[in-house]
Amino acid sequence: FLGLQPRSPFLCRALVIVFLETTIPDVLPLSIRVLLEAAIRKCDGFYTKEEDVQNILDWQQQQNTAEVPFPPARVLLQDFTGIPAMVDLAAMRDAVAKHGVDPGLISPMCPTDLIVDHSLQIDFSKCAIQNAPNPGGGDVQNQSQAHPRSTPPRPLPRGGSQCGSQRSSCSKSGCSDPPTSPGHPPASVQQIENTPLLCPFHLQPVSEPETALKNQEMELIRNKERLQFFKWCSKAFKNVNVIPPDVGAVHQVNLEYLSRVVQVNDEFIYPDSVVGTDSHTTMINGLGILGWGVGGIESEAVMLGQPVSLTLPRVVGCKLVGSVNPLTTSIDIVLGITKHLRQAGIAGKFVEFFGPGVSQLSTPDRTTIANMCPEYNATVSFFPVDHVTLKHFKKTNFTQEKLELLESYMKAVKLFRSYEDPSEDPHYSEVIEINLSSIMPHVSGPKRPQDRVAVNSMKEDFRRCLDEKVGFKGFHISKEKQGTQVPFLHCGQEYQLAHGSVVIAAVISCTNNCNPSVMLTAGLLAKKAVEAGLVVKPYIRTSLAPGSGMVTHYLNTSGVLPYLSQLGFEVIGYGCATCVGNTAPLPDAVVDAIKHGDLVACGVLSGNRHFEGRLCDCVRANYLASPPLVVAYAIAGTVDIDFEKEPLGVTSDGKEVYLRDVWPSREEVLQTEEDTVISSIFRDRTGRMEKGNSFWNNLDCPDCVVFPWDHKSTYIRSPSFFNKLSKDPQPPQSIENAHALLFLGDKVTTDHISPAGSIARVSAAAKYLLSKRLTPREFNSYGARRGNDAVMTRGTFASIKLQNRFIGKPSPKTLHIPSGQTLDVFEAAERYQRDGIPLIILAGKGYGSGNSRDWVAKGPYLLGVRAIIAESFEKLHKTQLVGMGIMPLQFLPGESADSLELCGKERFTITLPDDMSLRQQLTVKTSQGKTFCVTALFESESDLVFYRHGGLLRYVARTML
């Protein structure tokens, strides 16, 4: 069969199905069956060999041993990580053209979807401009001159008064005047119509659509260069589909529009599968589509026809039993399962769900659970297709013909499950059983997603965090200061802040909260709270960022959106905002109160990232919570509360209202979902996708094969990865007398290595942008400038929370060892490179955990880092380092920089053999005469090939020469 190439497409399809029907053992996990089908279909004797097919068939004996290829059906990019991938391909066209090769050959061979969703920032909220709109994303100085108003102020209602003139505007009742700025705003900002100076809550609020439109307009103006480049990509490259801004977040677009479950293409019908440049690509596994996150470097290789290489994984069967508690949301189930699986130690494994409890979970529930699999370090969390999945697709854009094809094909190749039938249960590497009835509502924090706190223990846990030493949980506030209360004025009214006061409350429905039942629970809770007379304090920065227009549609159709808006949770736009650090600055009075009392202020959000300092540098405690709990904590105004014993709030007439009084029943939520989440939502969604928006449709872009780089651009720049590209690679050289650029501890995340948020005014990246005559208001964010290697190299290790042992305190600085000077990391690296000194990095456990970002490897490479020696690496980041030609070296078990008594100021020599082998031990010698061994984490032959070529990008380019 493997050698046949029949001309008839029907014969091809029949052969594949017959082969799979007769070959797949019934005991093989269904996720492994997807790998098997791809290997059979793509078996060409080069990338995929018959031996690979046999290894997958023999999974039980070969798991965790054999290296196998996996060619996914498609690639998914979001704009932050997608733009450097497309820039690299554009630069690769330049490189091969210089060697006389047709640049048009550089085009994705694998279908690629790029969703522009990460550039939205909150410049406007319900009533006014957030900080005079701030396209730079940084702090803005106190302003003194008012903006010209586009409309005259309306008269105050009887008894009303004009608000004060604080710097930042609020987002709901009682707000300060819109801010002012010295001089005239930039030309791009002048295109935005300003809102009235008077407090709209004393008058009439600006409508939600106007708020969203203003934020979207700012997004388009600010990112015009990037959007023009994206549009060029969609025209110049084959197999590239760009989804423009204002459509939705990448994961929901993937779920609602791009997912196929079964692909019909060329001469085959085959299972849909995907790899994406975002760790939460795993969300798609809830639909029975195998997919996971990879770095931008690996995605580029897949786009150019290379399969993903992976060690045949162990598959953990997660058996779900019991019934879901009516008060438990899907987020609680997610966090409960996350806790169990994290404790089980399943890093790098596939998780496949089975058991009678699975049938109780809706498809949105499953995608919610699958989304969080990176948090417990699994590769995927797979829910095979069953009747619940089919029922879901009947509500979406699947025709009856597609549904019949899907069901018949999946059953034919044994990828369809009946969870109630235990005779269909495959054999797994191990089985973990979770009783759904034991899962109770939780939040997660205050600094890490794995630190779960039961809601009924929140008050006690937070106070314990105040006591504990500074660390993953503690803040070390002395007993005598834990009762500190700081009064402040906001819009002419006095309020008080204390430890635990909530100052940011963000409902985000992009990934683990796209589940309609969860968002509807929040909306119904808001409705009941408003009807009971409860309010949210006006200084709390509230926002609602739906993952797509679908969310707004069903919230509006169900009648709960006005109640969310009344509490301050108005729609601010579609895309990543608070979750990626794009939070508008807090009012000055709030910031001053926090600093004056040294308070542990809190943010509560329903996103998936909340590392310390990410939301706002003055907000030290951040909790992940379900959307209804975000609304509840916003109403309470504090996390220092026991919802069982203390009222959520007190009405104007003195009536105490408890959380149980306003929490909607599960039956009420499910009925509302059934009445509102219908096929019309998806038809409307498809129409919006295909229509696009007028800004995008009218946007001009170059019409050429090779991109015409604008050397004045500060967004798009040709990187130096292909400089002096030779046809044949030079063998890797030993690292001699290297200095340590950084001496890091445990859990250095990708946020530390390559921040995605605002560009600090005193950073090396800011100095570069200032040299290009940009003002801080025009800096935008690191994420938006990932197409400019000059910015991103300077932004590498620019996190204010970076704990470098050379410095002794959180700072984006390091020690330039030869001179003894403390410099920005980039400036120190620049000096080392000028002097011809190679660099390494010393680190502890879990180096590179967090979101997958290619700049966490590209940045260190351009800084001159040749190797990183750590106690352990996050697997995906280790792969990215190899892909950029940086050696990931691991201390031997039981050893570390401390146990070896390294101070980091030594010079290091690492001798490389002529012929490297997998997981080879290398010897490291220091200038102090110390010698120790490390393991080079090359896990596959492809790793060695990429390293010999100086990285995957140079390898792919050479295959074209």
- Three-state DSSP class for residue 343: helix
Give the pLDDT score at 335.
74
Two structure tokens written together for 798: 């620019």
Give the pLDDT score at 157.
31
User: Looking at residues 219-245, what average pLDDT do you find?
Assistant: 88
Give the pLDDT score at 347.
84
Closest by CA to 784, choosing from 756, 754, 765, is 756
pLDDT above 60: residue 176: no
Closest by CA to 249, choosing from 518, 551, 548, 549, is 548
Give the pLDDT score at 19.
57
Residue 8 CB neighbours (<10 A): 10
User: Looking at residues 155-178, what average pLDDT do you find?
Assistant: 33
User: Looking at residues 306-331, what average pLDDT do you find?
Assistant: 87
Two structure tokens written together for 468: 């504990």
Banded pLDDT at 889 (limits 50, 70, 90): very high
Between CA 447 and CA 429 the distance in angstroms is 33
pLDDT tens-digit series, residues 436-452: 999 888 888 898 877 88
Give the pLDDT score at 11.
42
- Three-state DSSP class for residue 42: coil
pLDDT above 70: residue 145: no
pLDDT above 50: residue 845: yes
Minimum mean pLDDT range among 82-91, 118-127, 175-184: 175-184
pLDDT tens-digit series, residues 99-143: 999 999 999 999 999 998 756 666 666 543 333 333 222 233 333
What is the pairing mode between strands 262-265 and 268-271?
Answer: antiparallel
Give the pLDDT score at 609.
57
Tell me the C-alpha to C-alpha distance, in Å, between residue 411 and each of 416, 494, 705: 5, 65, 44
Banded pLDDT at 489 (limits 50, 70, 90): very high
Banded pLDDT at 619 (limits 50, 70, 90): confident
pLDDT above 90: residue 663: yes
Percentage, residues of the chain above pLDDT 90:
50
Give the pLDDT score at 665.
86
Minimum mean pLDDT range among 690-694, 762-766, 858-862: 690-694
Give the pLDDT score at 125.
60
CA 179 to chain centroid, in Å, comes to 31
User: Looking at residues 415-421, what average pLDDT do you find?
Assistant: 92
Mean pLDDT of the chain: 82
pLDDT above 60: residue 312: yes
Banded pLDDT at 852 (limits 50, 70, 90): low
pLDDT above 50: residue 179: no
Tell me the C-alpha to C-alpha distance, in Å, between residue 648 and each of 389, 532, 603, 862: 38, 11, 17, 52
pLDDT above 50: residue 406: yes
Closest by CA to 292, choosing from 305, 283, 303, 301, is 283
Alpha carbon distance, N-terminus to C-terminus of the chain = 33
Closest by CA to 462, choosing from 411, 500, 433, 508, is 500
Between CA 214 and CA 424 the distance in angstroms is 53
Banded pLDDT at 547 (limits 50, 70, 90): confident
Buried b vs exposed e over 823-855: b needs ≥16 C-beta within 10 Å?
A: bbbbbbbbebeeeebbbbbbbbebbbbbbbbbb
Banded pLDDT at 556 (limits 50, 70, 90): confident
Two structure tokens written together for 95: 């490189």
pLDDT above 90: residue 305: no
Give the pLDDT score at 471.
86
pLDDT above 90: residue 840: yes
Cβ neighbours of residue 575 under 8 Å, at least 6 residues apart? 117, 118, 119, 120, 219, 245, 246, 248, 249, 545
Q: What's the DSSP call for residue 512?
A: T
pLDDT above 70: residue 9: no
Only one residue has tokens 């089919």, namely 390
User: Looking at residues 503-507, what average pLDDT do you find?
Assistant: 92
Only one residue has tokens 């008080």, namely 496
Domains of the chain, earliest start first: 74-120+213-438 (3.30.499.10), 442-664 (3.30.499.10), 735-959 (3.20.19.10)
pLDDT above 60: residue 205: no
Minimum mean pLDDT range among 20-24, 395-399, 567-571: 20-24
